[in-house]
Amino acid sequence: RRAEMAKVSQLIDDEVFRAYATYAAIVLVKMMLMSSITGYFRFTRKAFANPEDTASFGKGESAKKYLRTDPDVERVRRVHLNDLENIVPFVGIGLLYALSGPELSMALLHFRIFTGARILHTFAYLIPLPQPGRGLSWAVGYSVTFSMAYKVLKTAWLL
C-alpha cells in the first residue's frame, strides 16, 4: 500500500502540478464563496426562490411576499454563473496543461494571471465598477484559458 501511495503522490511532488493544485483550489474556493454571498443577500434582502425557505417569516400570504427576485441577489447569481462558465473550463484545461510539460515559469504566469483576473472580475461585478473594468478582467481570464488549450492541443493532439 505504501509503495502504491508513493507512486500516486509523485504527481503532487511535481512543481507544475503543485502550482496547478494551488491555483485550481483557490479559484474553486472563490467560486464556492459565491453561494455564501448569495445566501447572505437572500436573508438580508428577504428574497427567496422556494416557499419552504420563507416559512420562518410567517404563514400564508405574509410569507409569500418574500418569494421574489432582488437585484442584489440576481447580481451575485450572475457572478456565480459567470464563474461556472469560466473557472470550470480553467480547471479542466489547466489540469491537461499542467500534464503537458510546460515550463514552471510559464505555468505560473498562466495560473497567476487567470486567478488575479477572476478575483478582479468578482470585485468589478459586485461593487460594481464602471465598464470596461469587468469586461477586461473577463477577457484576460478567457484568453489565458485559450492559451492553455492551445498548448494542450499542440502537445496531445490525437483525434
Q: Which residue has the cell 451575485?
A: 76
Burial of 119 (0-12, 13-18, 19+ CB in 10 A): middle
Contact 38, 67 (CB under 8 A): no
CA distances from 108 to 76, 92, 119 (A): 29, 16, 16
Cβ neighbours of residue 97 closer than 8 Å, sequence gap 6 or more? 20, 107, 110, 148, 149, 151, 152
The single residue among 32, 58, 65, 69 that binds a copy of itself, judged by CB under 8 A, is: 32
Helix, strand, or coil here: 67?
strand
Lay out the site mask for a copy of itself across 7-26 (x = CB under 8 A, - = otherwise): xxxxxxxxxxxxx-xx-xxx
Residues 54-83 that bind a copy of itself (CB under 8 A): 55-56, 75, 78, 80
φ/ψ of residue 132, rounded to 5: -95, 30
Residues 82-121 binding a copy of itself (CB under 8 A) are 84-86, 88-89, 91-93, 95-96, 98-101, 112
Per rule CB under 8 A, is residue 1 in the interface with a copy of itself?
Answer: yes
Q: Per-residue x/- marks for a copy of itself, 127-156, CB under 8 A?
A: -xxxx--x-------x--xx--x--xx-xx
- Which chain residues interact with a copy of itself by CB under 8 A? 1, 4-5, 7-19, 21-22, 24-26, 28-29, 31-32, 34-35, 49-50, 52-53, 55-56, 75, 78, 80, 84-86, 88-89, 91-93, 95-96, 98-101, 112, 125, 128-131, 134, 142, 145-146, 149, 152-153, 155-159
